[in-house]
Amino acid sequence: MNSLTDRTRPRPSAGQQTRGRTSLRTPTPEADQTRTLLTVAFRSSGMAILLISAVVVVTLVSASSDLTGTFGAIATTWLAIHQVPVVIDDVQLGVLPLLPTALMMWVVARRCASAATLADTRIAVARLVGAAVAGPLTVTAICLVVVADASAAIPLSSPNALSAFGWVAGIHLVAATVGVVVAHWQIIEPELPRWASAAVRPGAWTTSALLAAGSIAVLCALLISWSTVGDLLARGGGFVGVLGLTVLSLLYLPNLVVGAVAVMTGASADIGEVSTSVFGNIGGDLPPLPVLGAVPAGTGGGFWPVLLVVPVVIGIYLGRDCARRVGGQDGILTAVAAAFMSGTVIALLALASGGELGYFGAVEVTWWAVGFLTFGWLALFGSISALITTWLQHRAVPAPEPTVTAPPAQQAETAESEGDDTNSDTDSDSVSTDESVDETGSVQESETEETEDTDETDEPAESAEIEAPELAAEESQAEESKAAEVEVDAVTVVEDSAEESATDLPSPVKDPSD
pLDDT tens track of the chain, all 514 residues?
Answer: 344 344 444 444 444 444 444 444 555 667 778 888 999 999 999 999 999 999 999 888 887 777 788 899 999 999 999 999 988 888 888 899 999 999 999 999 999 999 998 887 889 999 999 999 999 999 999 999 999 988 888 888 888 899 999 999 999 999 999 999 999 999 899 899 998 999 999 999 999 999 999 999 999 989 988 888 888 888 877 788 888 889 999 999 999 999 999 999 999 888 888 888 888 788 777 888 888 888 887 666 557 788 899 999 999 999 999 999 887 788 899 999 999 999 999 999 999 998 888 778 888 888 999 999 999 999 999 999 999 998 887 776 555 555 545 455 555 555 555 554 444 444 444 434 344 334 444 434 444 444 444 444 444 444 444 444 555 556 666 666 665 565 555 445 445 554 544 444 444 444 434 3
pLDDT per residue as tens digits for the range 158-188: 888 999 999 999 999 999 999 999 999 998 9
* Distance, CA of 373 to chain centre: 24
* Ramachandran angles phi, psi of 95, nearest 5°: -90, 105
Q: For residues 404 and 138, what is the distance between their CA atoms, to the nearest angstrom?
A: 78
Q: For residues 132 and 153, what is the distance between their CA atoms, to the nearest angstrom?
A: 33
Question: Residue 214: how many CB atoms within 10 A of its CB?
Answer: 23
pLDDT per residue as tens digits for the range 45-76: 999 999 999 999 988 888 777 778 889 999 99
The tally of CA atoms less than 13 A away on the side-chain side of residue 450 is 15
pLDDT of amino acid 16? 46
Write the CB contacts of 462 (distance below 8 Å, at least 6 apart in sequence). 472
Q: In what order do the strands lie in the sheet with 156-157?
A: 91-93, 86-88, 156-157
Q: Which of 327, 336, 368 is nearest to 351 (CA)?
A: 368
pLDDT of amino acid 98? 93
Residue 85 DSSP symbol: -
Q: 304-309: which pairs have CB atoms within 8 A and are 24 or more residues apart?
A: 304/278, 304/279, 305/278, 305/279, 307/217, 307/263, 307/264, 307/278, 308/264, 308/265, 308/266, 308/278, 308/377
Q: For residues 96 and 86, what is the distance between their CA atoms, to the nearest angstrom?
A: 9
Type and span of the H or E element at 124: helix 122-150
Q: Which of 326, 340, 310, 339 is nearest to 387 (CA)?
A: 326
Name the β-bridge partners of 271: 274, 363
Q: Which of 182, 177, 213, 158 is nearest to 378 (CA)?
A: 213
Type and span of the H or E element at 203: helix 200-224
SS3 of 16-58: the string is CCCCCCCCCCCCCHHHHHHHHHHHHHHHHHHHHHHHHHHHHHH
Q: For residues 54 and 398, what is the distance between their CA atoms, to the nearest angstrom?
A: 68
Buried b / exposed e over 100-122, threshold 16 CB at 10 Å, is bbeebbebbbebbbebbeebeee
Residue 13 DSSP symbol: P
Buried b / exposed e over 219-240, threshold 16 CB at 10 Å, is eebbeebeebbeebbeebeeee
pLDDT of amino acid 348? 94
* Ramachandran angles phi, psi of 157, nearest 5°: -125, 140
Q: Which of 291, 451, 311 is nearest to 372 (CA)?
A: 311
Q: For residues 331 and 336, what is the distance between their CA atoms, to the nearest angstrom?
A: 9
